[in-house]
Structure 1
Amino acid sequence: MWNFQRAPRRDRRDTPRDPEYAFFSVAEGALFRAQVRAAFAEQGLEVTLRSKVAGDSAGRHFGLTHLASLCHHDPGGTKRWPRLIRERVTALLRTVDGPSPLETLAPNQLRARLHPLVVARDLVGPRSARHRHVRDVAPGLCEVLALDLDEGVMTLTDDRLASLGDLDGLRERALANLRALPVENHTVWRGAGSIRFDVVRCASSFTSSRVLALDGLVSDVTGAEPGPDGALVALPHRRALAFRVVESPRDSSLVGTLNALSAFAQADFAAAKDPVSPDVYWWHGGVLTRLIRHDAGRPEFTEDGAFEKLVRRLAEHGADGY
């Protein structure tokens, strides 16, 4: 039996929206900022909030977009925000007050920890002069190079990457590190009939980013290469990746699996502390195409002619799932 959790209760979408965080209402935005100030004050810091950044008297600046996203998707709603914000601010200050890994680790140690990280596009914001290496990988998703550290993940700006080598070489090294991650937990979700998909869950914050090297992951998990028609994929949060390889020339449960995978992704996304996307994508030849987009918890099929042709072709070969 499928066990999906409800999305957090939110203010209605027709209430006035926050000018900086569109996923918040005006009231939620004000509450978030008040609790951010309170969390910093508990650490002895008075901060000024401008745009999506908190600044202190020492000239340090702390981005708040990711924290706002975590609050937005927390399944406990606003009642859990104070604890979540306090924990994140405490961890952030503990990290910035200590020596930077860029100062304590040798270049070869840093390159060994480098991975590509897939995140929601709105967490990075408009591409700036400091993040020209950021790549869009699908609607709503982008890739940024980051370090895998004991205390968490550290994204890198272009100038910091330049000290480690040329960008193309660093990305190849990062992908190699990604492919080498172990698969700690693999299960198969099964629904009615032949509906099923594979789920990989690991402790690494780069687990969902393995969608960038999905062919290798599929081979590691199933012992077979993806077929010519690719796979359905979902990456609800950083520590999980779900996929279903399209079984050509017949796949009688593809559409049913797409719907089940959508429900799974939305539920896992809503419950996650490190969400990535509630959407479902089609991985085909290394390219990700969004098939289902969730808007305020409601799934919406985003038409794709190539995928529709695939479904019709499967139907013509005797599939009964269309």
Structure 2
Amino acid sequence: MFGRGERRDGVDQPRDPEFTYLSEAEAARLRVFVRDAFAERGIEVTVESGRVTTGAGWRFGLTNLAAACHNDSSGPRRWRTLVDQHVDRVVRSLDGRQALKALPREQVLTRLHPRFIPGEPRLLKAFGYGPPSVPGLLEVLALDLPETVDMLTADDLADLGDLTALRERAFQNLRDVRVDKHEKVKDKSGARFDVLMGDSYFVASLALLLDEVVRRHSKDTPTPDGVLVALPHRHQLAFHVIRDSDVLPSLNLMARFAAVGHEKFPGALSPAVFWWHDGEFTRVATSDGGVYVKLTEEGVALMARLSGG
């Protein structure tokens, strides 16, 4: 497998010290291809004899790639294609910590998004750095990578910059999150609410931009009475703009909807319904997924005020 290879020009060329199955000229060509491939993906690397190193110290070995090129029956004319494919696989395989080292800072910032996760006590030390938002959930920053979405801990973010500025950049990126489906739910009780869905892990995070989201995806606009919101799982956001007496049946149906979605789908977030008002979220109702809906103390007060007592 690692023999000297054929004499492509009829001359027994000097062997590369690192990859003895390649000539010096072949190995030099391969290293140029590698450097160019990383550069085209926004990653500047220093090419050494058997590996590449980024400015932040992340290393990628070249042995497997060199062997694949040597053993390809098409010869050097296909090496650039092989290099591109290999570098793409490497970039796709990066996890959050690797990406922070391998990618230029600006590329990291373009992949940064806010994400909700369940507010479990064991997660507070690593992920409790975000501001309070939705009760029972933690707002964290995550990297949207080609193959994964990786949550970043407080330690991961320490060298990336000011947390407030990072969050603002993440919100800019959130505005570009794709919603694949928009449904309007109605029933004979008068209940009505909108449901946004998508493959993105950040659909539920759109609740952080709720006033913009309502204007973009509904004919309604937020009113002084606020908006009911449900975040059953990461791929779904439901909302009802409070306008009239249909708020109570809408709350009831949304609570059952949230409970079922929370139980049955991956990326579960919350089975509750929240009231969004003046940019703040308050838990107002929960359900067992059947006919039973329980109002919180705040929910009782809200319904009493909206119904005039």
Q: TM-score surpassing 0.5? A: yes
| Cα pair distance change 1:97/1:202, threshold 3 Å | closer
Equivalent-residue separation in structure 2 for 1:131 and 1:160 (angstroms): 10
- What displacement does 1:308 show? 4.2
Find 2:142's aligned residue among 136, 146, 153.
146
Equivalent-residue separation in structure 1 for 2:96 and 2:123 (angstroms): 29
Identity %: 41
Q: Which residue of 2 aligns with 1:273?
A: 266
Equivalent-residue separation in structure 2 for 1:118 and 1:207 (angstroms): 10
Equivalent-residue separation in structure 2 for 1:313 and 1:98 (angstroms): 47
Partner SS, residue 199 of structure 1: strand
Show structure 1 runs of 4+ deviating over 6 A: 96-99, 295-298
Q: Which residue of 1 aligns with 2:166?
A: 170
Amino acid at match of 1:142: L
Equivalent-residue separation in structure 2 for 1:315 and 1:97 (angstroms): 51
- What displacement does 1:175 show? 1.1
| Cα pair distance change 1:99/1:106, threshold 3 Å | same
Name the stretch that deviates more: 99-108 or 268-277: 99-108
Equivalent-residue separation in structure 2 for 1:232 and 1:260 (angstroms): 11
Find 1:107's aligned residue among 105, 108, 111.
105
Amino acid at match of 1:168: T
- What displacement does 1:161 show? 1.3
Q: Which residue of 2 aligns with 1:260?
A: 253
Write the mapping of 1:13-28 to structure 2, written as runs, cut at 5 A: none
Higher relative contact order (CA 8 A, sep 6+): 1
| Cα pair distance change 1:302/1:311, threshold 3 Å | closer
Partner SS, residue 211 of structure 2: helix
Q: How many residues align?
A: 217
Amino acid at match of 1:219: R
Write the mapping of 1:81-96 to structure 2, written as runs, cut at 5 A: none
| C-alpha distance after superposition, 1:43-81 (max 9, x if no partner) | xxxxxxxxxxxxxxxxxxxxxxxxxxxxxxxxxxxxxxx
| Cα pair distance change 1:210/1:219, threshold 3 Å | same
Q: Which residue of 1 aligns with 2:280?
A: 287
- What displacement does 1:203 show? 1.1
**Rg larger in structure:** 2
Q: Which residue of 1 aligns with 2:215?
A: 219
Equivalent-residue separation in structure 1 for 2:113 and 2:234 (angstroms): 13
Write the mapping of 1:1-322 to structure 2, written as runs, cut at 5 A: 100-122=98-120, 125=122, 127-128=124-125, 130-247=126-243, 251-294=244-287, 299-304=293-298, 307-316=299-308
CA contact (8 A) 1:237 1:268 kept: yes
CA contact (8 A) 1:127 1:134 kept: no
Structure 1: gaps spanning 5 or more residues: 1-93, 317-321
Equivalent-residue separation in structure 1 for 2:123 and 2:210 (angstroms): 27
Equivalent-residue separation in structure 2 for 1:232 and 1:171 (angstroms): 24
Partner SS, residue 116 of structure 1: strand
Equivalent-residue separation in structure 2 for 1:137 and 1:95 (angstroms): 32
Structure 2: gaps spanning 5 or more residues: 1-91
Amino acid at match of 1:108: E
Equivalent-residue separation in structure 1 for 2:115 and 2:101 (angstroms): 22
Q: Superposition RMSD on alpha carbons, in Å?
A: 2.6
Equivalent-residue separation in structure 1 for 2:106 and 2:285 (angstroms): 41
| C-alpha distance after superposition, 1:223-259 (max 9, x if no partner) | 4431111111100010000000001xxx121111111
CA contact (8 A) 2:259 2:286 kept: no
- What displacement does 1:148 show? 1.1
Equivalent-residue separation in structure 2 for 1:102 and 1:294 (angstroms): 41
CA contact (8 A) 2:96 2:143 kept: no
TM-score by length of 1: 0.61
- What displacement does 1:136 show? 3.1
| C-alpha distance after superposition, 1:193-231 (max 9, x if no partner) | 421100000111010011111111001101443111111
- What displacement does 1:178 show? 1.0
| Cα pair distance change 1:99/1:176, threshold 3 Å | closer
